[in-house]
Chain A
Amino acid sequence: DVKVTQSSRYLVKRTGEKVFLECVQDMDHENMFWYRQDPGLGLRLIYFSYDVKMKEKGDIPEGYSVSREKKERFSLILESASTNQTSMYLCASSLGGWTNSGNTIYFGEGSWLTVV
């Protein structure tokens, strides 16, 4: 089974703090993703990485950055946390490329971040 592990399930941070959310996958997947989940808005893509050191902005990248130094690890960074970044953050991974059978995306359990 694919395992996507997010290091922190629950965090409380103060406004202005730098926040790191870590994600590790164990299936040698090329693609990794960071989403945030908010009620009524579904999942919105923040950033996406298709290879080591490669990244693409998603729908809502403002206020976030990412780092992918190793294939299995994808970090989300909030340089200066704000209250509107209080949310559930989901990491995901999938195989790369586009195939007829498709590449299922596998999710971690999520990290609840509260910024006070």
Chain B
Amino acid sequence: AQSVSQHNHHVILSEAASLELGCNYSYGGTVNLFWYVQYPGQHLQLLLKYFSGDPLVKGIKGFEAEFIKSKFSFNLRKPSVQWSDTAEYFCAAKHNNAGNMLTFGGGTRLMVKP
């Protein structure tokens, strides 16, 4: 079965620290990858997505992610976090053999201390 793994369930950082959240997916072939964010009390929002082309994807709010096919990874990064980045982050993958079904990782709760 397809799976998406997020390495850390909880991350606590101070403001201005650099962030990297790990994400690995279990299958090869054509895959679309996503990072979603859920701020407290709000709905899931798309941060960024990768479909093809440049493996380094820029998203909103200064986030980026790098698709490394050989490692089946799609890690999310931000050079300098802010208190407002406190949220839960979800990695997700969609494989062309799975129709349009999205498989999510377990989520990573990020807390940024002011």
Name the A residues within 8 Å of B34 (CB-CB). 104-105
Q: Is B52 in the interface zone, CB < 8 Å from A?
A: yes
Q: Are A40 and B100 in contact (CB under 8 A)?
A: no
Q: Are B43 and A108 in contact (CB under 8 A)?
A: yes
CB distance from A4 to the nearest CB of B (A): 8
Q: A102-B51, A107-B44, A109-B43 are in contact. Are A43 and B100 (CB under 8 A)?
A: no
Q: Are A90 and B107 in contact (CB under 8 A)?
A: no
CB distance from A105 to the nearest CB of B (A): 6
Q: Is B82 in the interface zone, CB < 8 Å from A?
A: no
User: Out of A41, A98, A100, A106, which one reaches B100, CB within 8 Å?
Assistant: A98
Name the B residues within 8 Å of A58 (CB-CB). 101
Q: Are B99 and A102 in contact (CB under 8 A)?
A: no
User: Out of B6, B32, B44, which one reaches A90, CB within 8 Å?
Assistant: B44
Q: Are B32 and A102 in contact (CB under 8 A)?
A: yes
Interface size class of A (residues with CB under 8 A): 20 to 34
Name the B residues within 8 Å of A25 (CB-CB). none
Name the A residues within 8 Å of B90 (CB-CB). 42-43
Q: Are A101 and B51 in contact (CB under 8 A)?
A: yes
Which residues in window 78-114 of B have CB below 8 A to A? Answer: 90, 92, 94, 96, 99-107
Q: Are A42 and B106 in contact (CB under 8 A)?
A: yes
CB distance from B76 to the nearest CB of A (A): 15
Q: Are A31 and B100 in contact (CB under 8 A)?
A: yes
User: Out of A42, A56, A105, A110, which one reaches B107, CB within 8 Å?
Assistant: A42
User: What is the CA–CA distance of A98 and B51 in the complex, to the nearest angstrom?
Assistant: 11
Q: Is A96 in the interface zone, CB < 8 Å from B?
A: yes
Name the A residues within 8 Å of B105 (CB-CB). 42
Partner-A contacts on B (CB < 8 A) = 4, 6, 9, 32, 34, 36, 42-46, 49, 51-52, 90, 92, 94, 96, 99-107
